[in-house]
Amino acid sequence: MSIAPAEFEAPSERRSEDYLWTLNFGPQHPATHTTLRLVLKLEGERVVDAMPEMGYLHSGFEKIGEHLTFNQYVTVTDRMNYISPMANNVAWHHAVEKLLGIELTPRCSYIRTIIAELARISDHLLCNGAVGLDTGAFTFFLYAFYQREVIYDIFETLCGARFTNSYTRVGGVSQDITPLVIEKIRSFLKTFPKTLDDMERLLNRNRIFVDRTKGVGLLTKAEAINRGATGPVARASGVTRDLRRDEPYLAYADLDFHVCCAAAGDCYARYLVRMQEMRESLKIVAQALENLPAGPVNVGIDQRTALPNKKQVYSTIEGTISHFELSMSNRGFEVPCEESYAAIEAPNGELGFYIVGDGEDAAYRARCRPPSVLHFALFPHLIRGHTLSDVVAVLGSLNIIAAELDR
């Protein structure tokens, strides 16, 4: 025989909080994927409120940025959004070059465009793969991760590092792109659309997946703008903002692509936007590869920013002097006592750096504008009223990367 709770005490005497159950989710939990914590208030299985906590991976990246030179700090940006380190490298040196007023060579901007788009594909593969994994689609996750390996191989051939690439330099990149890399990217461009078709066939109309993501974690357009969402999260809510089109940087002005948007604003729309963006990225990579300009990859010796190549160092006096000066502190960059902000459309949203220069080789202040912070702040708004099992779907669709979140 069961006794209803109402028989014990009158509802008016009961405190409203009494039958809420507090569940601690994280900071170490397989479904958070990274080190972050949620304190959930549950009524039965329904989430009444959520309190996100962050800071478990705080490593003072911005403080370190005040002590490392512009070229050294790129290794730290690798560790911010470690899912797409190439995009962070590009963002950091894009901002540095804006402050120093350096114009890139056409070949360098095309190479950076290619690697930034490959980074976007690998980021979206992880995000959508993880959403699939958390909602029960394990095969989908393996499809996504196999393709990420292919992109890692391309990056390894390009710069020698698979994961923490540190590929860009002030005024250029560490190595020029080689025919072998181009061949590998071409073969990826051929094989990847087939996998993408398979992945879409696996999930797009999968009953379980659609039921678990459609209508979950709704974000309206007005809310998305007011709460500072950018990137795929905002575009899935109908915000047609994409810095690649709106403030063209690198080579994007020359390339033809669509900005992928959806109106629904739920987890399913975010999944679809990411899937579609991968196809657009493939288009961009293919065009950039076809039109890759010849010529030098780094800016010239006269600008005194990028290290000259070894042939120049050993056979010309300008190269020797330039190499020597750039290796010495206080003889390298001419940094203005000014401040500037530059952002790129990173896979996760607007990733920008606000850099203050004071004439030294290192930044006086290197503020990183991470998209993850604003997206994680959205979380309680998105999850209220949904069930506990929706937590992982919403969290996955926001693609929170704790290392970028905490810095």
Which residues in this chain contact other proteins in the complex, by CB under 8 A? 54-55, 58, 60, 62-64, 66-67, 98-99, 101, 223, 225-228, 230, 239, 241, 246-247, 337-341, 343, 350, 352, 354, 356, 358-359, 364-365, 367, 369, 373-374, 376-377, 406-407
Question: To the nearest whole angstrom, how small is the minimum distance from the Cβ of residue 261 to other proteins?
Answer: 12
Coarse DSSP helix, strand, coil percentages of the chain, rounded to the nearest 5 percent: 50, 10, 40
Rounded-to-integer distance, Cα 220 and Cα 237, Å:
6
- Which distant-in-sequence residues (6+ apart) come within 8 Å of 111 by Cβ? 173, 176, 177, 292, 297
Q: Looking at beta carbons only, is 20 or 225 nearer to other proteins? A: 225
Question: To the nearest whole angstrom, how small is the minimum distance from the Cβ of residue 15 to other proteins?
Answer: 22
Question: To the nearest whole angstrom, how small is the minimum distance from the Cβ of residue 28 to other proteins?
Answer: 16
Question: To the nearest whole angstrom, how small is the minimum distance from the Cβ of residue 29 to other proteins?
Answer: 20
Question: To the nearest whole angstrom, how small is the minimum distance from the Cβ of residue 224 to other proteins?
Answer: 9
Q: Looking at beta carbons only, is 31 or 356 nearer to other proteins? A: 356
Q: Looking at beta carbons only, is 114 or 219 nearer to other proteins? A: 219
Q: Looking at beta carbons only, is 228 or 296 nearer to other proteins? A: 228
Q: Looking at beta carbons only, is 20 or 373 nearer to other proteins? A: 373
Question: To the nearest whole angstrom, how small is the minimum distance from the Cβ of residue 257 to other proteins?
Answer: 17
Q: How far is CA 78 from CA 86, 248, 252, in A?
A: 7, 23, 23
Q: Looking at beta carbons only, is 300 or 380 nearer to other proteins? A: 380
Given a contact cutoff of 8 angstroms between Cβ atoms, the answer to whether 49 and 41 are in contact is yes
Q: Looking at beta carbons only, is 200 or 358 nearer to other proteins? A: 358
Rounded-to-integer distance, Cα 266 and Cα 399, Å:
14
What's phi and psi for 262, nearest 5 deg?
Answer: -140, 160
Residue with tokens 């937590």: 391
To the nearest 10°, report the CA torsion of 120, 122, 126, 127: 10
DSSP calls for 143-171:
HHHHHHHHHHHHHHHHHS-SSS---EETT
Question: To the nearest whole angstrom, how small is the minimum distance from the Cβ of residue 338 to other proteins?
Answer: 5
Q: How far is CA 88 from CA 81, 94, 318, 339, in A?
A: 7, 10, 32, 20
